[in-house]
Structure 1
Amino acid sequence: MTADLRRARLAISAAFLVQGLVFISLTTRLPRIQDRWDLGELALSGVLLMMVLLAGVGSLVAERLAPRLDSATVLRAGLLVLAAGVAVAVLAPSTVVFVLGLATYGAGLGLVDATGNMQAVALEHRLGRVVLPSCHGAWTLGGVIGALITLGTGDVPWPAVALLAALPVLASAAPYLARDHGEAATSTQTDVPWRAIVMVGLALVAFYTVDTAAATWGPVYLDDEFGAPEDLVALATLPYLVASGLVRLVGDRLTEEVGAVRLLRAGAAIAFVALVVVVAAPSWPVAVVGFTLLGCGVAVVAPLSFSAAAALAGRDADPATRQARVDAVVARFNQFNYAGALLGAVMTGAVGAGSLRVGFAVPLVMVVALFWLARAFAPADENSAGSSAGASRA
């Protein structure tokens, strides 16, 4: 690996880490946000729905801008939008301004989601090996740090939380992967095998349904159902993230040794058992055990989804056409992320308005689909055997 690629890999990992840190820092504070703005489960679901929809819009904007400006430039812009949204939402003097801040945050989240994965896929192509699981592991590590910060700063004045906005600003200055101007550019984006890609996308929907439900509603679940101490509700998220992060950090090697299809099916079995434990838990410590197992089970679904989608997009294509196809696919594929987030954040809250035990049945049902959908990940197995995953233009 050259020095430039090494620096780019660290920068991309930093972007994932900062995004995860800020996101989990906010979601683990949802009980406090609910109290501050007097939001019930349905009202909070509505706010989350708005944020998810605007994140989808941000991802589509990234699809338009990345081919013109390059994904590194759009990623930097997205990080700055993210920072502005956090600052406005935390320091808001009224509910209206708070909602506007979350709307800005949502749009920035979509920009960073799409371009961060574009950068990771481009890096994977240039290195010629699987790296997406460890890149997503950096997001999880950031989430762990965010949850720890929440646990350690539960009593700080609310305005101090706005300091989180400084992190995306710092990350925007990192040396991301520059576009390779030596490769031919093309605007051809036809003949993308969307049917096969949709099958992989459905697995991404299932994952984000589970992941968002755990991150968004886990702390609320411990608070509402079990009356867990307020300063410990972040434990719904922290062990989940630690377990997920550990699996992701070794996910590159696991994929190469076990294969994506087998790895996903084993993970789905663990996730199913974990959600049964969460739903049937008699006490909050048992629920925490369930969330921890859940992190182990679903950890590699998202990164392997992007690898498989990029491989399908770039299959049987010359380099220039492959670039154009993957540019289109990475941003659009990211929409499956928000479909899952919609189900996880909004449907879990809406179905669980009376009891979040019932709400967590939504991800329980979704995870069953992973057993069947795993077969669509054969292209990721090809990647782990040494074939190129394709790349977006950096």
Structure 2
Amino acid sequence: MSTDTLAAAAVRGRWAIAAIFFVNGFVTGSWAPQIPVFLHRLEITETTLGLLILLFGAGAVSAMVWAGHLIPRYGSRAVTSLFAISCCFGLLLVALAPNVWTAAIAMYVFGGTIGATDVSMNANAVTVEKKLGRAIMSSSHGFWSLGGFVGGGLGGIAIQAWGHLAHAAIVSVVATVIVAAAIGKIVTDLPVADEHRKFVLPRTPGVYIIGLMALLCMNSEGAVLDWGALYLRQELGTDIATAGFAFGAFAGAMALMRFLGDGVRNRFGAVAAFRTSALVAAAGMLVAGLAPWPWLVIAAFAVSGLGIANMVPILFSAAGNQAGTSPGAGMSVVTTMGYSGILLAPSVIGFVGERTGFAPIFVAISGLMLAVMLASGMTGTADQPARGAAPLQPS
């Protein structure tokens, strides 16, 4: 196969995996407007809903480990294709559940399809980076954020117009069409050494350090998602409409910066980009915790979103390029540890915030971002595909 053909295939693969990121975010975001209907339809309390959402997280984390086992054996292309198709129907499965017990099973399966797709698509993005010889991870996560924005933004309108079941069916159809168009163009993995084909927990300490860094970064995302609006409402006395801008400003800034992040990383390198991002995130969280005015807090959350946006994508690239560890194994460990932060953080932050208020929480998160910055040298391996591999250029 000629260099021109290989290069063209890599470019097509880059946009194919971007489409999978979009679908994963779109289906996940479409779940958010379903939650009030879900609560009313099953006649459950908020406590029961919390337990069902916990099952979603448990399904995601367990499936991430399973995906890490499958990727070295079958390649991220095959695993991504399988789970991307299955995740198209997860929301519909939940929408069809007639009672709390079937909903519990549906939520676990739904979380599993989302989590397994997440690990495999990130592993494939690492492969694309190696084939292209440049970073694409941040913009790939940008497509995830864009999908979440579209799914969450349009979902409520669709549910109001046609009902929750029709909405879930539409989501499944749209997602399936996009996945069907993309999977044939997903790139094939680079050869994996025989000794790495069998999934084992990595013995390289760096993988777990990167995983801890991802946990702290994603914990920060979860803090704004779950508690930002409540902080504005209860402690700064703003109205509900204004409080809703807490995560909106954060997510919007994050999506924008993720589309710009690959260019920044390609120009300045992963370590410098990560270090600067951590400083920006820390500054935003500190101001959010100390500011006396709601709109200043909202602006601070947006600044923090600009910083946090590219930290996790850089960490994922670094995890997929650890020496002596297959991309699937490294990605599985770091993704699982990172998402554990989102899974466990809400209850811990709620318990502490109930007693201290949320302002000290955001100040403390600022300190955690500075601690993560001190370990920024661990992200140097993220540059290996961009600077250590020969990109495919048309001859």
- TM-score, normalising length: structure 1: 0.82
Give the corresponding residue for 2:139: 134
- Between stretches 31-40 and 20-29, larger displacement belongs to 31-40
Give the corresponding residue for 2:9: 4
Letter of the aligned partner of 1:329 in structure 2? G
Tell me the SS of whatever aligns to 2:142. helix
8 Å Cα contact 2:254/2:306 also seen in 1: yes
Unpaired segments of 5 or more residues in structure 2?
1-5
Give the corresponding residue for 1:213: 223
Q: How does 1:163-178 map to 2 (within 5 A)?
A: 163-173=170-180, 174=182, 175-178=184-187
8 Å Cα contact 1:261/1:375 also seen in 2: yes
Tell me the SS of whatever aligns to 2:194. coil
Query: Deviation at 1:158?
Result: 3.2
Tell me the SS of whatever aligns to 1:250. helix
8 Å Cα contact 1:247/1:300 also seen in 2: yes
Give the corresponding residue for 2:369: 367
Give the corresponding residue for 2:194: 186
Taking structure 1 as reference, are residues 365 and 159 closer, same or farther at Cα in structure 2, changes over 3 Å only? farther
Query: Deviation at 1:15?
Result: 0.7
8 Å Cα contact 1:56/1:338 also seen in 2: yes
Q: Equivalents in 1 of 2:238, 2:157: separation in Å?
A: 20
For residues 256-277 of structure 1, the C-alpha deviation after alignment (integer angstroms, 9 at most, x for no partner) is: 2223223222222222232234
1:334 is aligned to 2:335: yes
Tell me the SS of whatever aligns to 1:267. helix
Letter of the aligned partner of 1:260 in structure 2? A
Query: Deviation at 1:329?
Result: 1.7
Give the corresponding residue for 1:298: 308
Query: Deviation at 1:108?
Result: 0.6
Q: Equivalents in 1 of 2:52, 2:234: separation in Å?
A: 19
Q: Equivalents in 2 of 1:276, 1:184: separation in Å?
A: 44
8 Å Cα contact 1:141/1:241 also seen in 2: no
Q: Equivalents in 2 of 1:379, 1:302: separation in Å?
A: 14
Decide which of 376, 379, 388 is 2:378's aligned counterpart.
376
Letter of the aligned partner of 1:165 in structure 2? S
Q: How does 1:345-356 map to 2 (within 5 A)?
A: 345-352=346-353
Give the corresponding residue for 2:3: none
1:309 is aligned to 2:319: yes
Taking structure 1 as reference, are residues 146 and 15 closer, same or farther at Cα in structure 2, changes over 3 Å only? same
Query: Deviation at 1:140?
Result: 1.6
Taking structure 1 as reference, are residues 298 and 184 closer, same or farther at Cα in structure 2, changes over 3 Å only? closer
8 Å Cα contact 1:14/1:138 also seen in 2: yes
Taking structure 1 as reference, are residues 76 and 220 closer, same or farther at Cα in structure 2, changes over 3 Å only? farther
Query: Deviation at 1:7?
Result: 1.9
Taking structure 1 as reference, are residues 275 and 9 closer, same or farther at Cα in structure 2, changes over 3 Å only? same
1:268 is aligned to 2:278: yes
Q: Equivalents in 1 of 2:233, 2:34: separation in Å?
A: 12
Q: Equivalents in 1 of 2:380, 2:390: separation in Å?
A: 12
Taking structure 1 as reference, are residues 221 and 46 closer, same or farther at Cα in structure 2, changes over 3 Å only? farther
Taking structure 1 as reference, are residues 180 and 282 closer, same or farther at Cα in structure 2, changes over 3 Å only? closer
- Between stretches 299-308 and 262-271, larger displacement belongs to 262-271
8 Å Cα contact 1:349/1:359 also seen in 2: no
Taking structure 1 as reference, are residues 85 and 177 closer, same or farther at Cα in structure 2, changes over 3 Å only? closer
8 Å Cα contact 1:240/1:292 also seen in 2: yes
Give the corresponding residue for 2:99: 94
Q: Equivalents in 2 of 1:332, 1:113: separation in Å?
A: 12
Taking structure 1 as reference, are residues 192 and 97 closer, same or farther at Cα in structure 2, changes over 3 Å only? closer
For residues 302-325 of structure 1, the C-alpha deviation after alignment (integer angstroms, 9 at most, x for no partner) is: 1111221223236xxxxxxxxx72
Q: Equivalents in 2 of 1:171, 1:255: separation in Å?
A: 29
User: Number of residue pairs matched?
Assistant: 377
Q: Equivalents in 2 of 1:141, 1:380: separation in Å?
A: 23
Letter of the aligned partner of 2:377 in structure 1? R
Taking structure 1 as reference, are residues 6 and 329 closer, same or farther at Cα in structure 2, changes over 3 Å only? same
Unpaired segments of 5 or more residues in structure 1?
315-323
- State the identity %: 26
Taking structure 1 as reference, are residues 312 and 129 closer, same or farther at Cα in structure 2, changes over 3 Å only? same
Give the corresponding residue for 1:124: 129
Tell me the SS of whatever aligns to 2:88. helix
Taking structure 1 as reference, are residues 15 and 89 closer, same or farther at Cα in structure 2, changes over 3 Å only? same
Tell me the SS of whatever aligns to 2:147. helix
8 Å Cα contact 1:16/1:116 also seen in 2: yes
Query: Deviation at 1:142?
Result: 1.5
Decide which of 241, 257, 264 is 2:267's aligned counterpart.
257
8 Å Cα contact 1:151/1:234 also seen in 2: no
Taking structure 1 as reference, are residues 89 and 219 closer, same or farther at Cα in structure 2, changes over 3 Å only? farther
8 Å Cα contact 2:142/2:255 also seen in 1: yes
Q: Equivalents in 1 of 2:96, 2:291: separation in Å?
A: 37
